[in-house]
Structure 1
Amino acid sequence: MVDALHIGDALLHRTVIDSAPDGILLVNRSGTILGANRAMERLSGHAPDQLIGQSVGIFLPPHLRERHTTLVDTFFVQPSTRPMGMVGQLQLLRRDGGAVPIDIALGHCEADGQPLAAVFIRDMTEVSRLQSQMHYQATHDTLTGLVNRWMFGQHMQQALMQSIRQGRPLGLLLLDLDYFKAINDTHGHAVGDLVLVEVARRLKGTLRAGDLLGRLGGDEFAVLLPELMAPDDAATVADKVLRALALPCSVQGCSVDLGVSIGIACCPRDATDADTLLRYADMAMYTAKDGGRGSYASYAAHMGHRFEESLRLHDRLKLALQHDALALHYQPQVDVATGRVVGLEALLRWFDDELGTVPPDRFIPVAVNTGLILPLGEWVMKTACRQIAQWAADGLRVRVSVNLSAQQFRQRDLAERLQRCMATYGTPPELLELEVTESEAVADPEVAQQVLTWMGSLGVGVALDDFGTGYSSLSYLHQLPVTRLKIDREFIQNITSNADDATLVRAIIVLAHTLGLPVVAEGVETEAQLRFLRQHGCEAYQGWLFARALPADEVRALVWPPADGQPGTLRLA
Structure 2
Amino acid sequence: MTSALPVILVVDQSKTDIEQSLKLLEGFEATLETCTDANKVFDLASEYQPAVIVLSSQLKGKDGYQVLNHLKSQKETSHIPVIFVSSTFGERQMKLHADMVKRVEILPKPVNQARYRELIAFYIELYVYRSAIAAVGGEKKKRSLVEGKDEGVLIIDEQGKICFANGAAELLLDMRVHLLCGQYLESMLQDGSETFVSQWQDHPISKVANSEQILQVEKAKMWTANGDAINVKFAAIPVFHLPGEKLLFAFRRLKQPREKAGESGRHAVTDHLTGLPTRLRADDFIQAAIKKAKNENNHFALLFVDLDHFKYINETLGHDFGDELIKFVAQRISQLLRKDDVVCRMEGDEFVVVLGTLDHPNDVGAVAKKIIDRLHEPFFVNGHEIFTGCSIGIAIYPSCGDDAGGLIRHAEAAVARAKNLGRNNFQFYTAEMNKQRADRMELERDLRKAIESCQFKLEYHALVDHSKNTIEAFEVSMVWHHPARGPLGVDDFLSVAEDAGFGRELYRWMWRQVSKDLAEHGQRLSGIKLCMPMSPSLLAREQVAEWLSEQVTQAGLRPQDVLIQVPESTLMVRGVSFMGVITELQKVGFEFVLDNFGAGHGSLESIRSIPYSMIKISERFIENMMTLHSDELIVDGIIYLAHNLGFKVIATGVQHQAQLTFLQSKGCEWVGGSCINEGIAKDLLEKVPSIFR
Instruction: State TM-score, norm by structure 2.
Output: 0.42
How do 1:149-548 and structure 2 match up within 5 A?
162=334, 163-164=343-344, 168-169=353-354, 206-207=362-363, 210-212=366-368, 233=397, 235=399, 271=408, 278-279=415-416, 297=431, 305-306=438-439, 309-310=442-443, 312-321=445-454, 325-353=455-483, 356-445=486-575, 447-547=577-677
Going from structure 1 to structure 2, the CA distance change for 1:467 and 1:280 (only over 3 Å counts) comes to closer
Q: 1:267 to 1:347 in 2, by over 3 A?
A: farther
Cα-to-partner distance string for 1:129-166 (whole Å, 9 max, x where unaligned):
xxxxxxxxxxxxxxxxxxxxxx9977999699543269
Q: CA deviation at 1:207?
A: 4.4
Q: Which amino acid aligns with 2:497?
A: A
Taking the aligned partners of 1:408 and 1:495, their CA distance within structure 2 comes to: 33
Provide the residue aligned with 1:87 in structure 2: 61
- Cα distance in 2 for partners of 1:282, 1:437 equals 16
Query: Quick one: which of 35, 40, 49 aligns to 1:71?
Result: 35
Map of 1:37 onto structure 2: none
What do residues 31-77 of structure 1 show as CA deviations (whole Å, max 9, x unaligned)?
9xxxxxxxxxxxxxxxxxxxxxxx96369999999999831499799
CA deviation after TM superposition for structure 1 residue 387, in Å: 2.8
Amino acid at match of 2:354: P
Q: Distance in 2 between matches of 1:64 and 1:536?
A: 55
| Conservation of the 8 A alpha-carbon contact between 1:332 and 1:341 | yes
Distance 1:504 1:64 in 2: 50
The alpha carbon displacement at 1:418 in A equals 0.5
- Structure 1: runs of 5+ lacking an equivalent: 1-29, 32-54, 79-84, 91-150, 172-203, 215-221, 239-263, 284-294, 549-553, 562-567
Deviation at 1:168, TM superposition (A): 4.6
The 1:386/1:210 distance shift into structure 2, 3 A limit, reads same
1 CA distance for matches of 2:635 and 2:674?
19
Separation (CA, whole Å) in 2 of partners of 1:167 and 1:458? 46
Q: 1:336 to 1:515 in 2, by over 3 A?
A: same
Measured after TM superposition, the shift of residue 475 of structure 1 is 3.8
**Judging changes above 3 Å, is the alpha-carbon distance between structure 1 residues 461 and 212 closer, same or farther for their aligned structure 2 residues?**
same
Distance change (3 Å), C-alpha of 1:342 and 1:277: same
Q: 1:390 to 1:431 in 2, by over 3 A?
A: farther
In percent, how many aligned pairs have the same letter? 21
TM-score w.r.t. the length of structure 1 is 0.50
- 1:484 and 1:510, CA in 2 relative to 1: closer, same or farther beyond 3 A? same
Q: State how far apart, in whole Å, the 2-side matches of 1:329 and 1:514 are.
A: 33
What per-residue deviation string (whole Å, max 9, x for no partner) do you get for residues 261-289 of structure 1? xxx79988665999776349999xxxxxx
Matched AA of 1:491: F
Distance in 2 (CA, whole Å) between partners of 1:428 and 1:384 is 14
**Two-structure CA RMSD over aligned residues (Å):** 5.4
Aligned equivalents of 2:22, 2:571: Cα separation in 1? 33
8 A Cα contact 2:477 2:490, kept in partner: no
Q: Is residue 687 of structure 2 the alignment partner of residue 560 of structure 1? A: yes
Contact conserved, 1:352 with 1:358, CA < 8 A, in 2?
yes
- 2:677 counterpart letter in structure 1: A
Q: Distance in 1 between matches of 2:361 and 2:481?
A: 45
Rounded to whole Å, the distance in 1 between the matches of 2:482 and 2:439 is: 19
* Shift, 1:345, TM fit: 0.7
Mapped contact 2:397–2:407 kept (Cα < 8 A): no
Following TM superposition, by how much is the alpha carbon of 1:526 offset from its aligned partner in structure 2, in angstroms?
A: 2.0
User: Relative to 1, partners in 2 of residues 1:73 and 1:153: Cα closer, same or farther, differing over 3 Å?
Assistant: closer
Q: Which amino acid aligns with 1:386?
A: K
Q: Distance in 2 between matches of 1:297 and 1:265?
A: 14
Instruction: Kindly name which structure, 1 or 2, has the bigger radius of gyration based on alpha carbons.
Output: 2
Q: State the Cα distance separating 1:338 from its structure 2 match.
A: 3.3
How has the CA–CA distance of structure 1 residues 206 and 223 changed in structure 2, closer, same or farther, with 3 Å as cutoff? Answer: farther
Q: How many angstroms apart in 2 are the aligned matches of 1:481 and 1:276? A: 38
Query: d(CA) in 1 for partners of 2:352 and 2:448?
Result: 39
Report SS of the residue matched to 1:422: helix
In structure 2, relative to structure 1, the CA distance for the partners of 1:427 and 1:306 (3 Å cut) is: same
Distance (whole Å) between structure 2 residues aligned to residue 480 and residue 465 of structure 1:
12
Residue 344 of structure 1 aligns with an amino acid whose one-letter code is F
The residue type paired with residue 15 of structure 2 is G
**Which of the pair has the greater relative contact order for Cα pairs under 8 Å at 6+ separation?**
1
Go from structure 1 to structure 2 and tell me whether the alpha carbon gap of 1:376 and 1:57 turns closer, same or farther (over 3 Å shift).
same
* Equivalent in the alignment of 1:112: none
